[in-house]
Structure 1
């Protein structure tokens, strides 16, 4: 304990080390606080929109209850859907920063409604969200560099290296110093994360996995810093090499890999699907109504034997050609989803080689803010849309009037629970990379033991030579 307290005093006596640790603690605390604020804001938005949605539905009921016109109810009634943030979402906002987490839908064509939410200003989304994942992935390596780049070279420049090398077990001394700096960096990241977990009620398993991701990624950064700082270079050379490695591993290689994945797996934009669906819907006004109904009955044979279309406009024809519009782009939608899922799988595979990608993907998965969570939300919307259509079809195709009490029994959206801890392979990749590089970095400090032994032998030989000269002179 005394050795550790002495080492702690040495660390905090250094202005650079103490300021770096304090700044990292402040940044991680700020990131967690902003994440909690963002989650609270999204939950408040969901609650406020639910109240407004109820008022809107009541207004529709007041307007069309006397007419019993099911088509008017279907056309003018919006149904609220929402994707509530998980308790761990404050760690990494992920796609919740750009993808809609609240969507109002009608009984009309679904694809145009889902992908209409993809229109956002890319300039506003470009900076990203300052959250805990950003601090861990992009900023914590810089603090590891600040604390470890001169671990050995600083002693050499101050003239204390030869004295320290003469101490038995000099390598143990440096390994203890490295481990202590690693522990302080981890504490500066983990303490705000734990406070955020208590404030948000995060599950114990989720916070344990998040801490394991943090420890593993930080171990990689520390191990790489130790490997470079033990090369015998100057402090400036160590810092330059580590900054180059940070740029390469966190910025250049992930960007190039993402470009390669994007080019090798081309995917249509959701807006293209929306336009294709709307083109089919608008073109239906020029197609004979009976032809449209026949296309509809091919996938919905249960309504084939209902009453034929009367002369003039009828709501069941209107909803039918919206449904046909959705079905006309079904293959494109499946190809779009398949492409996105393939990109996601290759990104996860990339995490086995680039720890920054692996740690970020793992944090987004534990927070349920990644592409998988977004696609699950879209699947739930599609299921709910089928429930809405079946509800109104039962009135439209049987010409049954829709009364107020019938409208009160309309489908209600229920969000699907999200599994936030199924990250197996992603977590394993980060742990393996972090553990291996950390052990390599700590093992590199053993050369200090060898250097100390060489220094002692050299000193003994010089003493023996001096004694021999003295004997000859005497």
Structure 2
């Protein structure tokens, strides 16, 4: 029976091509993701090495520059410490800075310091293993299974089998679906094992969570194909019905959700905040500098009696003005963060309307590359920026010279990993879909003779 099923499975050219395209696409996604992740990690390590060499170079000098000059040129590296799973499920890591270099100047001008991408060279979407599993896997399942019953009817074998025992014929269909599901699970297993070897992924709870989600997602689409088969229509009807279902869940519903959220929430706020901060900073050169310092000391009263200086320029005013320009758009920035949190909550809730969108969100969340993980990184960058500022203020306002020990004491960025704190995925939705579709297909096959 196994030999017979395998012969049936691989007899069509479309099936062979689809299987080959899927496995090649999966392996290519893993390879490209691994190279991209390796390059990202190399850049992060290089930034740290360069910073340490600059520190050593400054320490090698007999006379160390004043803190204002050091802080202006000292771009301290930060790193979004992505796990190797980010190579497979990119999420926000492909669209945002993951290794920002921060100094004591205004933060708003730094967290958006990213080159504009030429629209003519911009990719339409990210190609990773998540894309292969979420979008290409359902198409392969449709090719393998949706026309099983109609092909048996068209060949005349179904009528012959039903003449002996209709329930036996139905069992053969379910058995054929089961063998195809086992084949898909084996292919998913190969992709995950190759990923584990290439990226040194530990075979831990996260590995089996993502693997189990992928297998459950595949089972969901097999059940969708089974329900479509139960209508006992032609191969053309089945293929169109499956493609329409795929387009609905994979393209139309996610596209409508993202379009609605983009219209509902303003995504230009960061650019507006960065522009406003820059304009306020530039205008500060033509305004009363002592008044700016007095406003700054309202936040740091310990420096209230140390704002006077004799020259036309002093670093204490310069960094105070940068902080004031940040504070001027703080409410706008915080409102944007709250808005993004609301947008993410809506996206999580509305993703229940699309198994594909839900599955992809779960992959990114478990891999630590979703919006929440990115905002967690930005929060730590903001806290680190404050740490740098408050480190240099005593040197500026007290006119304290910098020693070699002070150079070593310059604060360093420490990333706190949030991935291990994430809870289990909300797999109950996929499980609910599986149970519902399984019951529907079982009832329909029991009630119809399919002759």
TM-score range, shorter chain: over 0.9
Q: Tell me the residue number matched to 1:352.
A: 352
Q: Tell me the residue number matched to 2:175.
A: 176
Displacement of 1:328: 0.8
In 2, are the aligned partners of 1:61 and 1:404 still within 8 Å (CA)? yes
Aligned mate of 1:36, from 34, 37, 47: 34
Aligned mate of 2:53, from 47, 52, 55: 55
Displacement of 1:123: 4.7
Q: Tell me the residue number matched to 1:11.
A: 9
Structure 1 window deviating more from structure 2 (112-121 vs 138-147): it is: 112-121
Displacement of 1:122: 4.5
Structure 1 window deviating more from structure 2 (231-240 vs 412-421): it is: 412-421
Structure 1 window deviating more from structure 2 (133-142 vs 20-29): it is: 20-29
Displacement of 1:48: 2.2
Q: Tell me the residue number matched to 1:97.
A: 94
Aligned mate of 1:74, from 59, 71, 78: 71
CA shift digits 1:48-82 (9 cap, x unpaired): 2322233344445567x615411111112111111
- The 1:7–1:439 alpha-carbon spacing in structure 2 relative to 1, beyond 3 Å, is farther
Matches within 5 A, 1:14-29: 14-29=12-27
CA shift digits 1:286-315 (9 cap, x unpaired): 221221112211222232243633342111
- The 1:298–1:426 alpha-carbon spacing in structure 2 relative to 1, beyond 3 Å, is farther
Matches within 5 A, 1:250-399: 250-306=250-306, 308-399=308-399
- The 1:408–1:310 alpha-carbon spacing in structure 2 relative to 1, beyond 3 Å, is same
CA shift digits 1:6-41 (9 cap, x unpaired): 323332344433443333222222222222222112
- Cα separation, 2, equivalents of 1:36 and 1:421: 25
In 1, are the aligned partners of 2:366 and 2:425 still within 8 Å (CA)? no
In 1, are the aligned partners of 2:77 and 2:101 still within 8 Å (CA)? yes
Q: Tell me the residue number matched to 2:138.
A: 141
CA shift digits 1:184-240 (9 cap, x unpaired): 122212321122124323341111111122122212211111111221111012111
* SS across alignment from 1:389: helix
Structure 1 window deviating more from structure 2 (318-327 vs 300-309): it is: 300-309
Displacement of 1:128: 2.3
Matches within 5 A, 1:114-125: 114-117=111-114, 119-125=116-122
- Cα separation, 2, equivalents of 1:442 and 1:185: 22
- Cα separation, 1, equivalents of 2:10 and 2:237: 24
Displacement of 1:416: 1.9
Displacement of 1:166: 2.8
Structure 1 window deviating more from structure 2 (425-434 vs 279-288): it is: 425-434
Structure 1 window deviating more from structure 2 (428-437 vs 366-375): it is: 428-437
Q: Tell me the residue number matched to 1:469.
A: none
In 1, are the aligned partners of 2:294 and 2:307 still within 8 Å (CA)? no
Output the TM-score relative to the length of structure 1.
Answer: 0.88
* SS across alignment from 1:312: coil
Aligned mate of 1:157, from 150, 154, 157: 154
Structure 1 window deviating more from structure 2 (89-98 vs 419-428): it is: 419-428
Q: Tell me the residue number matched to 1:467.
A: none
In 2, are the aligned partners of 1:352 and 1:426 still within 8 Å (CA)? no
Q: Tell me the residue number matched to 2:187.
A: 188
Gaps of 5+ in 1: 456-474
Gaps of 5+ in 2: none
- Cα separation, 1, equivalents of 2:316 and 2:333: 25
Displacement of 1:375: 0.9
Structure 1 window deviating more from structure 2 (19-28 vs 128-137): it is: 19-28
- Cα separation, 2, equivalents of 1:440 and 1:141: 19
Displacement of 1:144: 0.9
Displacement of 1:438: 4.3
Displacement of 1:124: 4.1
- The 1:365–1:273 alpha-carbon spacing in structure 2 relative to 1, beyond 3 Å, is same
In 2, are the aligned partners of 1:24 and 1:189 still within 8 Å (CA)? no
CA shift digits 1:315-340 (9 cap, x unpaired): 11110010111111110111111111
- Cα separation, 2, equivalents of 1:68 and 1:421: 43
Q: Tell me the residue number matched to 1:429.
A: 429
- The 1:243–1:363 alpha-carbon spacing in structure 2 relative to 1, beyond 3 Å, is same
- Cα separation, 1, equivalents of 2:364 and 2:119: 21
In 1, are the aligned partners of 2:67 and 2:395 still within 8 Å (CA)? yes
- Cα separation, 2, equivalents of 1:384 and 1:421: 21
The structure with more radius of gyration: 1
- Cα separation, 2, equivalents of 1:289 and 1:279: 16
